[in-house]
Amino acid sequence: MVSDILTPDQLKKVDPVFGQLSFDNHEQIVFCNDKDTGLKAIIGIHNTVLGPALGGTRMWQYANEWEALNDVLRLSRGMTYKSAITGLNLGGGKAVIIGDAKTQKTPELMRRFGEFVHSLSGKYITAEDVGMETSDMDTVREVTPYVTGISESLGGSGNPSPITAYGVFMGMKAASKYKFGTDDLENKSVLVQGIGHVGESLVEHLTNDGAKVIISDINESRLEAVSSKYGATIYKGSDLYSEPVDIYAPCALGATINNDTINKIQAKVIAGAANNQLANEVVHGKLLQEKGIVYAPDFLINAGGIINVYAELEKYGKAEIMRKTENIYNTTLEILNNAEKNSVTTLDAALTIAKNRIAERKNKNS
């Protein structure tokens, strides 16, 4: 039922354009190239049945263009289901800019990217993702209204990461309730991989709840800073996935649950912010189910950020943002129970609800 996600190598073997468009029926892919600013970006529009395709822009040093394309296809698809399951009237889209955000990101490049977004007349609305800051969205706003996640001083909703972290925390609590019979995380060991914008905020919630937090990151200075701020333990071992923890929270990049890691994972619950945590949804989703590891689907529990930026379009306030984000707890519990009842993976259970909502709207529209 779930269409599989292709790896960059598999992508190379299909037809270069429509072969990829149809890998999960993406509506449109836009390649953006600008010699003057060095911009090389791809905008992926997966599905617009429920509304305009909203999703962040990631700037990353991809090994090659196939990897960038693969990422934008996976990420934009995830946005469709994230908004659908969260009950938002938004489609799924995402953009990637190929390059090093630390050294190659300039205001000129961001404005040029904004002009490409503008050329789509609102079919795609951007926001921030890895490698982006609120100030970058403010720069994009100079050339297009089709951007969210801009500064509060400019009428925006500001940095979405704390709300994303709160939603992840809600999803993690629900998964703990399901697996351990209690959503109290006191004395539960939680390994947070990636303590960036979302990860750090998650560490704060976990610490306040009395969890034993272990942190891992490739950025040594952040590790020291977050450890001394919250008293979290820095992971010093050489095989992160074998660490015997109760909960693993992937909050860095995707695909960390893959052929190399799946048999090592000791955690009983996986609940984190990273998009596309399963390298292969079908294979790894099934293996987690067989191993009795409870996987809280990423696109479900990391929806706090999109709920936050959607407020800019729908003009609802903080109270409604918090209400919608807290509801991730109920939805997660419902999906975990549904998965058990129907003997399907938790990912399948979540995708079924999301896809049904899109199909219903499509029928209504036609």
∠ at Cα 269 (237, 71), nearest 5°? Answer: 80
Q: Is 74 in the site for ligand NAD (CB under 6 A)?
A: no
Residues of span 268-297 touching ligand NAD by CB under 6 A: 273-275
Q: Copy the structure tokens of residue 40.
A: 């090389």
Sheet holding 233-234, edge to edge: 233-234, 212-216, 189-193, 247-250, 269-270, 294-295
Tell me, yes or no, if 94 is annotated catalytic: yes
Beta carbon nearer to ligand NAD, 200 or 348: 200
| Whole-angstrom distance, CA of residue 351 vs CA of residue 295 | 13
Beta strands 247-250; 57-60: pairing state: unpaired
Q: Is 158 in the site for ligand NAD (CB under 6 A)?
A: no
Q: Is 302 in the site for ligand NAD (CB under 6 A)?
A: yes
Beta carbon nearer to ligand NAD, 50 or 202: 202
Give the number of residues in contact with ligand NAD, rule: CB under 6 A. 25
Tokens 């998650």, residue located? 202
Residues of span 163-222 touching ligand NAD by CB under 6 A: 164, 193-199, 216-219, 222
At its nearest, how many Å lie between ligand NAD and the CB of residue 196? 2
Q: Which residues contact 358 (CB under 8 A, 6 or more apart)?
A: 47, 49, 50, 80, 84
At its nearest, how many Å lie between ligand NAD and the CB of residue 17? 26
Q: Is 227 in the site for ligand NAD (CB under 6 A)?
A: no
Catalytic-labelled residue, pool 94, 123, 179, 324 = 94
Q: Is 130 in the site for ligand NAD (CB under 6 A)?
A: yes
Closest CA to 137 of 32, 73, 56: 56
Beta carbon nearer to ligand NAD, 321 or 344: 321
Beta carbon nearer to ligand NAD, 249 or 344: 249
Task: Indicate which residues carry an active-site annotation.
Answer: 94
Q: Which residues bind ligand NAD (CB under 6 A)?
A: 129-130, 160-161, 164, 193-199, 216-219, 222, 251-253, 273-275, 302, 305
